[in-house]
Structures are given as C-alpha cells and as structure tokens.
Amino acid sequence: MAERAHAWLAQDPDGETRAELRALIEAAEGGDAAAAADLEDRFAARLAFGTAGLRGELGAGPNRMNRVLVAQAAAGLAAFVREKAGIGPDDEIEPDDAPTVVVGYDGRRNSSVFAQDSAEIFAGAGLRTVLLPRLLPTPVLAFAVRRLGAAAGVMVTASHNPPNDNGYKVYLGGENDGSQIVAPADAEIAAHIQRVADDAEVGALPRSLGYEHAAESLVDEYIAATAAVAPAPEGADGLRWVYTAMHGVGWETFARIIEDAGYPTPDPVTAQLDPDGAFPTVSFPNPEEPGAMDLAFETARETGAELVIANDPDADRLAVAIPDDGAEGGWRRLTGNQIGLLLGWRAARLAAEDGLTAGSSLACSLVSSPGLKAVADHYGLDFHATLTGFKWISRAPGLVFGFEEALGYLVNPETVRDKDGISAAVAMLGMVSEARGRGASVNDLLAEFDDTFGAFASDQISIRVDDVSTIARIMAALRAQHPSAVGDVDVARVDDLLEGVDGFPPGDVLRLWLTDGSRVIVRPSGTEPKLKLYLDVRGDSRQDADTRITALAAGTRALLSEHGG
C-alpha cells in the first residue's frame, strides 16, 4: 500500500492533496493505526466509473475525487470518443473532423479546476473542446451537448451530495441525443480509464490550451427555450413566492428566465442565493433532507408568500412547498411524487390539447408513483416505467414528460434530455398561476387530481449506513427468503429484477406486490450509502390512501427490523 501511495504522490499535480497524502503516509509509517486504515481505504480500491459517472469525497488517492483521478477519467473518455469516431490512438485528427466534447462545472470545491484539467486533456487528445463560459446549472450543459452536436459532455458536479463531495457526470450525443450514459458505454469508458491509469503518468498525458469558450449566445438559447415552457398567465400577477438556490448555481440563470417569462420576482433566500461550495447554512444541501429548507420557510413566513420554489446546488432538481397550518412551521414540502403527478397532468393535458397523444408518452422510474400511468391512460398516451435514473427515463419513446420521485422532472424533452429543475420550476409557476387565476390553490389542484385519477399515496424509508456491506446483507436476506406479508397484508408476488422482469435490464431491485394492490420496492441508492424503500398505495379517497400508506410504512419498518435493517 505504501508503494502505491508514494507512486500516486509522485504524479499528483495538486499541492493541497500532495500535502494531505504526504502527512498521511508519514503518520502511517510512524505506526498511526488510524492513518494506516485511512490509507488502506484510499488505495485498496478505485472510485468506480459507472452509469452515474464518478462521484465521491474529495481527497488524495484513487478512491477519492482529485485531479489525478479526473485527469485519468478525461483521458479515458477522450480515448472512448476517438474510438467511437473510428479514430485510432495514433491517428492525427483534422480540425474539421474532430468530435466535439463540451465541459461544464458548478460551484463546488475544485469543480472549476477539474473542468479546466478536463478541457486541456480533451484538447490535447485532438478533440474540439468547448468549455462553458462560467459556472452554470447542469441542465445548461445537457442542453449544450445537443445544441452543439457534441459527441460527449462532462458536467463537474456532485449535485446534492454532502459539501466535501464532487463528481463527474458524462453525457453522450449522437444516437444518445444528449442523455446520460448507460451500459455498455459506462463499462467501455471505464476500461479506457483503467488503461490510462495503468499505462501513463498524469504528467505525461498530452494537454493543450487550444479549447474554446462557449459563446454567451448558447446560454441565451437555453434561457429563451426554458422561458417558453410556460409564459406567465394573468394569474401570475401579484404572486408572492420565495426562491432558494441552496448555495448553488441556479439563480443567475433562473432569474433571467422568470423575467423573460413574465413572472414576478421572488423573495430570495439571500443567505443561500450565491454559489458557495462550503454550503454554510445547510449540513446536507439536498431539499429533501430535514432542515434544508428551513431558511426558505422562514423567509416565506416573513413575506407572506404563497409558494416556495427550491433548486438543489446544480439546479437539476426542484422542490416545492406550500402553506399548511397543520404542519410544523406552517409550511409543507410537496413530495416528489406529488410534484411529478401535477406536472405530468399538465404535460398530458397540453399534449391532448395539441392533438399529440398518438405516439406520445409519459415515463417515470419504477419506484415513482403509479399515478402517472393513470394520467397517461386517461389521456390516451403511452406509459413507460424505467429503471431509476434519467439516463433511462430520457430514452422512453415519444417522451413528452418524465419524472422520478427524487425531485427530478423532465418537462421540455426537445431542449434537455435530462432532469431540469429550472424548466420544471417554470412549468410549476405556470400551473400554480393558472390555478390562481381561477381562484384555486395548489391544495385544490391536488384534490382535483385525486377526483380525476384516483387517490395515490407514497412514502419512502431510507436507511443510511456506515458500512455499505450492510445493504448487501439485507438484500441477500430478502432474496433468500421472500417476505410472506408486510404488516397485516399478504405478499402476492415478488419480482427480482436481477433475474430480468418486464423487459427491465437486470438491476439490484426487489418489488413486492401485496394482495390489496399496494407495492413496496427495495433497492440500494446509486449515489449514497443508503438502502431505499418505496411504498405506494391507491385508496378509495384521500383519507383512505393516507390510512393505507401509514399502515404499510409501519409494516415495512417491522419487516426491515426482522432482516437486520
């Protein structure tokens, strides 16, 4: 282990991580057991490149996010792009024939550094490389991949992960149409990255400053297309609402969009408005996490707001909250399923009004509310359930809207083939304003949905673990002996997606169907050390649905306890 650590130290171009690693090596060699264990953790494995790209804690070593790992990833991706274009490793590329790669970055620690390194390495590999002009939301990068006809795109972000994380998200153009990578591309890119790591010192990788900076007109085009999602109706006049960027990069772009679309300027959460990679006011910059929106609620109470809109730090997710006298603090955050069903209803209605139902579809991840299928059926649209992640949702045929319950929404597929918290916010502002114009509230919209499509209720149980092997142990136990009941309700069928079910690619997912029509889905998180369980029921009324979901949650927790969760 010490030999590997010294070899890494010799090629690390970052003074901060070099000093960190040098101190760790010296402590470990001096007999410090904690330092030795830390060194083992950093060098016993490599941060895996998969369908989520790279994501992990900042620090020295192959099992952390750092400049060495990012340089290897960039060189591996460059080799993959060249290979797919039929360009050999030693072939010269004429400038007019060079595939394009576009690079974006957010406001997290080292995001701009990782983006700069990537741009230099892509350009050094002979690729036409376009770096976005400044830190921008992830959806702008996804838009740029399509707009520039790029072969690939990279967004340096860890989205809503803890402050000391960063990541490397990869998109592909061409037949992939600007969507995130899926198999087998992930494994092919990973193999190229491994070859770079095995064969080349980072300092020997070709670099060039011959990359371009994207024109501001590219950002302007995204803004115009997104403002057109839902121009402000008359009901927007006088709307009092609050916005938080969660210390991320959403506000600058979103502010221009709402002005162009004609919405009133929000009351911002000023302490969270500007990008800050330290995330000083939140311990976990995810709108789903308890406490993350407390400052937004405080601002809403002070201003008498009717609505709260929040983006996560890279602005690809949307959270919405509404006044609720029965909730602590007087505000209630809508669930991802509630937002998704409302936005799906809007999309289906618009498709029907435009006569575009034939061949059009709604899509959501298999862990999201089955209520979206009820909407699709009502309007005569196709419906697709996919594996978790927008890399799958975005590929649904005929897509007009897609969502996943983790606050991700795709409302404008002709512009961005990925979740987009900014365009989703515009769509939500439009829907709220239209209702407001006829004297209806968001609560009224939710009640109208129940009356039209049925009373669906969802819940989620997340178990965060220190040792990820705990998750594998629980999944193995559930597979070894399928549960016969959840609470007082018998299990009718168990689908194990590792075995291939309903045309899904194999995945580490268990789906339990109960005799009363309820559903429980169990899967490991793809980005965090969590086991996630998704619960769904359909009731005869809102009260019945709420009663059923409460009972199902209690039964699920008891089941987990039996299996060591």
| Distance set, CA 198 to CA 4, 76, 227, 230 (Å) | 12, 11, 47, 50
HSE-up of 226 (CA within 13 Å, CB side)? 29
Tell me the H-state helices in 228-353.
Answer: 250-261, 294-303, 336-353
How far is 160 from 487, CA to CA, in rounded Å? Answer: 34
| Distance set, CA 258 to CA 146, 309, 553 (Å) | 23, 12, 39
Tell me the H-state helices in 412-541.
Answer: 421-437, 442-453, 469-480
How far is 98 from 129, CA to CA, in rounded Å? Answer: 9
Closest CA to 408 of 395, 433, 391, 396: 391
CA 564 to chain centre: 29
Q: Which among 118, 159, 361, 423 is annotated as catalytic?
A: 159
Q: Are 193 and 77 in contact (CB under 8 A)?
A: yes
What spatial distance separates the first Cα and last Cα of the chain, rounded to whole Å? 34
How far is 320 from 524, CA to CA, in rounded Å? Answer: 26
| Contacting residues for 362 by C-beta, under 8 A, at least 6 apart | 344, 347, 348, 372, 373, 375, 376, 381, 382, 383, 384, 399, 400, 401, 402
Tokens encoding 70: 């990012």
159 is known as an active-site residue: yes
| Contacting residues for 198 by C-beta, under 8 A, at least 6 apart | none
DSSP element (H, E) containing 195: helix 185-199
HSE-up of 24 (CA within 13 Å, CB side)? 25
CA 416 to chain centre: 14
Q: Which residue has the tokens 């000391």?
A: 164
What is the 3-state composition of the chain as percent helix, strand, coil, each rounded to the nearest 5? 45, 20, 35
User: Catalytic site residues?
Assistant: 159
